[in-house]
């Protein structure tokens, strides 16, 4: 699985690239807004700096701001014409549904992907929340599809009555389908849910929510999943599976919130994980790694060090 850095902060990009493990960069308007505040450059120069730091053969996703089919196509062509000559690494990000409030225009994302790819401009279909959306994007010609694992985790927890910051932190790992089945013993009709005492205790400790809030009524059974999607990792796994015959399409596991998710999406077969700088930095740390490094350093004898 390739590692992309999900940021538009120039310092973070430089640091992550220096580690020799980053193969690409993903940005969006929110990340651009945040990163641009930390530079005194013009917007055009700032974008060029991102592309230059990335370098050749390091794809950089830049998202359009238009929401109409024509507007997205024109922006994609302009962005590619102006910036791709810098390092030949520009990928255009198109939301799968750029204007959900407009019933007529909701197909413009797919239409734009189809037209843009015909100009041999690589497209990253973003804001994917279901495998079905990913399938449509792949059929339209997207080179990358980005299922949003973290946002689906948030959505599922909120459906269970959990509040971000009170019942859970966004950085907490939410278990995938297999893990849930181990925690919950669900009857065939899925109307009753029982837990062993240790499992109940573990659930309360992990998710800080009373079990009665989860199982108090029969309709609540449907809140465990979003039309068969049990977690962000499950979304990625099912997207990978449904696109297994699309050899030219890469699945980017996006909206990654913690190191555990990185492991799980890799196991799920994601081609790429785009990871925020903090999460990538957290992967380096483990208590026993630090203890071992400290011990090795203390035990170096002068005669051994002299060999170097």
Residue 138 lies in a domain: yes
Same domain for 80 and 48, yes or no, is yes
pTM for the whole thing? Answer: 0.86
Domain boundary at 174, 192, 224, which? 224
Same domain for 81 and 16, yes or no, is yes
Domain boundary at 206, 224, 242, which? 224
Domain count, the chain: 2
Tell me the CATH number at 134: 3.20.20.70
Same domain for 169 and 266, yes or no, is no
Residue 296 lies in a domain: no
pLDDT at 247 over 80: yes
Question: What is the residue range of 52's domain?
Answer: 2-152+227-287
pLDDT at 191 over 60: no
Residue 22 lies in a domain: yes
The question of whether 93 is a catalytic residue gets the answer: yes
Other CB atoms within a 10 A radius of the CB of residue 243 amount to 21
CA torsion angle 190 196 202 207 (round to 10) = 20
Q: Which residues, 6+ apart, have CB-to-CB distance to 110 below 8 Å? A: 96, 136, 137, 140
Please tell me the predicted confidence (pLDDT) of residue 114. Answer: 97
For residue range 89-142, what is the model confidence (pLDDT) as tens digits? Answer: 999 999 999 988 887 788 999 999 999 999 999 999 999 999 999 999 999 999
Phi, then psi, of 272 in degrees rounded to 5? -145, 145
Residue 196 lies in a domain: yes
Q: How far apart are the first and last CA of the chain?
A: 35
> Which comes out higher in pLDDT, residue 46 or 181?
46
Residue 300 lies in a domain: no
Of these residues, 15, 93, 143, 294, which one is catalytic?
93
For residue range 149-181, what is the model confidence (pLDDT) as tens digits? Answer: 999 999 988 887 778 888 788 998 887 554 555
Same domain for 66 and 147, yes or no, is yes
Q: How many helices (H) and strands (E) does the chain have?
A: 15, 10
Same domain for 216 and 84, yes or no, is no
pLDDT at 76 over 70: yes
Same domain for 139 and 71, yes or no, is yes
Same domain for 255 and 201, yes or no, is no
Residue 189 has, within 13 A of its CA and on its CB side, a CA count of 4
Same domain for 220 and 233, yes or no, is no
- What rounded mean pLDDT belongs to the chain? 87
């Amino acid at each position: 699985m390739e590692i992309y850095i999900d940021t538009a902060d120039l310092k973070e990009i430089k640091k992550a690239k220096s580690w020799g493990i980053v193969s690409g960069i993903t940005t969006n308007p929110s990340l651009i807004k945040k990163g641009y505040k930390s530079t005194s450059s013009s917007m055009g120069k700032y974008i060029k700096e991102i592309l230059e730091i990335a370098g050749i053969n390091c794809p950089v996703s830049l998202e359009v701001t238009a929401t109409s089919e024509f507007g997205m196509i024109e922006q994609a062509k302009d962005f590619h014409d102006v910036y791709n000559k810098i390092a030949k690494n520009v990928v255009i990000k198109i939301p799968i549904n750029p204007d959900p409030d407009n019933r007529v225009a909701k197909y413009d994302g797919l239409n734009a992907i189809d037209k843009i790819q015909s100009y041999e401009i690589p497209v990253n279909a973003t804001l994917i929340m279901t495998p079905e959306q990913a399938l449509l994007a792949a059929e339209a010609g997207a080179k990358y599809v980005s299922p949003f694992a973290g946002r689906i985790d948030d959505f599922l927890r909120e459906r269970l009555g959990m509040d971000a910051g009170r019942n859970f932190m966004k950085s907490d790992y939410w278990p995938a389908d297999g893990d849930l089945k181990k925690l919950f013993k669900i009857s065939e009709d899925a109307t009753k849910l029982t837990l062993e005492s240790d499992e109940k205790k573990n659930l309360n400790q992990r998710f800080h929510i009373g079990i009665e809030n989860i199982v108090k009524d029969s309709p609540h059974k449907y809140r465990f999943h979003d039309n068969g999607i049990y977690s962000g990792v499950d979304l990625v796994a099912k997207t990978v599976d449904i696109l297994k015959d699309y050899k030219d399409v890469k699945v980017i596991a996006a909206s990654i919130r913690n190191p555990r998710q990185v492991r799980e999406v890799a196991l799920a077969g994601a081609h790429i994980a785009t990871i925020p700088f903090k999460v990538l930095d957290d992967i380096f740390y483990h208590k026993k790694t630090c203890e071992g490094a400290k011990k090795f350093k203390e035990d170096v004898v002068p005669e051994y060090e002299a060999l170097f």
